[in-house]
Amino acid sequence: MSAIETKSYSPPKAPPEWLALVRQQVESLRYGNVEIAMHGARVIQIEQVERVRLDKPVSETNKPTNTKL
């Protein structure tokens, strides 16, 4: 005879509190990164580093180069 295994249904757990914080940090970020620090399988810190990218002014991109022949 074979034993029949029954698995009990458990409703999905609510997402952890830190997940909403990470999502908020990621969605508000244009350039940069979000780091999650963990200790003992627990999230203990969330860091956001945002970078600001500056385009080169047009005058710098069209400057002639000083080359001697």
Under DSSP, the state recorded for 8 is: -
pLDDT more than 70, % of the chain: 78
Q: How many structural domains compose the chain?
A: 1
Residue 22: inside a domain, yes or no?
yes
Residue 27, domain extent: 17-51
Query: Are 47 and 19 within 8 A, CB to CB?
Result: no
Q: Who wins on pLDDT, 69 or 52?
A: 52
pLDDT band at 40 (very low <50, low <70, confident <90, very high): very high
Q: Quick one: pLDDT band at residue 3, thresholds 50, 70, 90?
A: low
Q: How far apart are CA 50 and CA 28, in angstroms?
A: 10
* Residues 47-53, mean pLDDT to the nearest whole number: 92
Query: Does residue 40 sit within a domain?
Result: yes
pTM over 0.85: no
